[in-house]
Amino acid sequence: MSDTTRNYLLLASLIIIWGSSFLLTDRSLLFFSPEEVVTYRLTIGAISMFLISIIYSKRLSRSLRPWIHFSIYAVIGNILPYLLISTGQLSITSGMAGLLMAIMPLVTLVLAHFFLPNDKLNKFKVLGFICGISGVFFILAPSISNGSNTIFGIILVLGAACAYSVNTIIASRLTSYDPIISSTCVLIVASILSFIIWPHTLVINFSEIPLLSGSAIILLGVLSTGIAAYIYFIIINAAGATFLSNINYLIPVVAFFLGALLLGEEILWQNILALILIISGIFISRKKS
C-alpha cells in the first residue's frame, strides 16, 4: 500500500469517526452537562490511548519540553473546542454543528499560507476554497432560516472550528512526536486539566446514567476522542496541515446526514448540491500549481 493510499484511508476513517461525534454529543447532552461531556470524553479517551500505548510498549515522555507542547494541544485542540461544541449544541442541531466545522479548512488554508513555509496559497487552493465555501453556504442558509438554531450556538461552534485550525498549524510547527505517545499524553493532560477546571465532575452517580447517554459518552471517548487523536497525529506527521484540513469538507456532510437519518433532522435539495461542491473543492484544492 502506498503512503498516499494509506493517508486517504486514515483520512476516511477520521471523517466517519468525527462526523458521528456530533450525533454522540447530542445524545450525551440529554443527561450530561457540557462540562461533563468534555471531561468524561477526555478521560475515557485518555484511558483508551494509555491502554494502546501499553500494547505497543510505548513509554510516556520524561522530559519537560514535550509536555509543554502537549499542554498547548490539550487546551487549544481539546478542552476549548469540545466545550464550545458541547455548549453550542444545546441550542443548535447536531447536523448544524457538524456543518459549521466546514469553516475549519478555510481558516487553515489562510493560516498555513502565513505560518507554514511549504503551504502557500495557489490558484487551485483558492478555487477549491471558493468551491467549498459555496457548498457551505448552500447548507447554512436554509438551516439557519428554519429557526431551529440560535446565533449564539452557531458562534460558539464556529469558534471551535477556528480553535481546531489554530491547533493544526501549531501541531505542524512544533516538534513531531510518536503518534501514540502524542495522543496519549495530550489526552492525559487534557483530562487532568478538565477535572481541575470543573472539580464537580469528579462526583459521578453511575446508577442514574441512562443507557443511551452512557453509551454515547463511552463511544465519544473511545472513538471520537481516543482513537481519533491517534489517527490525527499520524496524518499531521505524514501529510501535513492542509491535507488534514480536508476532513472538514466531508465531516459536515457525514454529520448532517447522520442527524437527518437518526434524529429526523430535515434534508433539503441544497444539501445534495452542497455535497457535490464540497467534494469537488477537496480535489481542486489538492492539485499542484
The three-point CA angle 90-231-181 to 5° equals 105
pLDDT value of residue 33: 96
pLDDT value of residue 278: 76
Asked if residue 42 has pLDDT above 80, the reply is yes
Amino acid at position 226, single letter: G
pLDDT value of residue 41: 96
pLDDT value of residue 3: 79
pLDDT value of residue 173: 82
> Rounded to an integer, what distance in angstroms lies between the CA atom of residue 217 and that of residue 253?
22
C-alpha distances (whole Å) from 212 to each of 25, 149, 281 are: 11, 24, 36
Region 10-37 average pLDDT: 94
Query: Which pTM does this prediction carry?
Result: 0.87
**Judging by beta carbons within 10 Å of its beta carbon (0-12, 13-18, 19+), is residue 260 exposed, middle or buried?**
middle
Q: What is the pLDDT of residues 135-148, one digit of tens each?
A: 777 767 766 666 66
**Poorest-pLDDT segment among 192-196, 208-212, 235-239:** 235-239
Q: Which long-range contacts (CB under 8 A, 24 or more apart) does 143-151 make?
A: 143/93, 143/95, 143/96, 143/99, 144/96, 146/266, 148/92, 148/93, 148/96, 149/91, 149/92, 149/93, 149/96, 150/91, 150/92
